[in-house]
Amino acid sequence: MPLPSFIIRRASLAMRQKMLAVIVGYFTAVVLVVMGFALLKQIFPSLVPDLVRGERPDTNFLIIAFVISFFSAAVGGYVMAFVVKHPDMRLASYLGLVIILINVLTIILEGFVKPLWWYRTLIIFLVPFTMLGASLYRNSKSK
């Protein structure tokens, strides 16, 4: 028995909305990361290493990079939940996985200039922070 066309259109619209939400959440996180590092370079230029000249990042920079990355992932999850209007944690985990995939590509392109523990920690905690952002939106909406 074939499905009526209005059911297919409604499902297709919902799927497009979820895909758009993940894309918007991802770009929000990317913009925040870029702005965070640009602001960090403006305020503390000696703290940001010049990777082109082969400088290695120190621990202070890596901790600040964690804060920027995790905050951006949480805000990206929040914006993704705002766009979709009916957030579920599965969609937030998809956003986290997209961010991790792009981070793995960045790691390869950077040439592994940061310590291995930094990459592991980043990969482990990105999905929970995107889920935290989505749950913050869900909790703020329920009040």
Q: What is the pLDDT of residues 15-48, one digit of tens each?
A: 888 899 999 999 999 999 999 999 999 999 888 8
Residue 42 exposed, middle or buried by CB count within 10 Å (0-12, 13-18, 19+)? exposed
Under 8 Å between Cβ of 122 and 70: no
- Per DSSP, the three-state class of 51 is helix
Task: Pull the structure tokens for residue 107.
Answer: 């790691």
Radius of gyration of the chain (CA): 18
On the question of pLDDT at 3 being above 60, the answer is no
Residue-averaged pLDDT of the chain: 87
pLDDT interval class at 132 (50, 70, 90): very high
Helices (H), the chain: 5-43, 59-84, 89-110, 116-142
Contact 126, 99 (CB under 8 A): yes
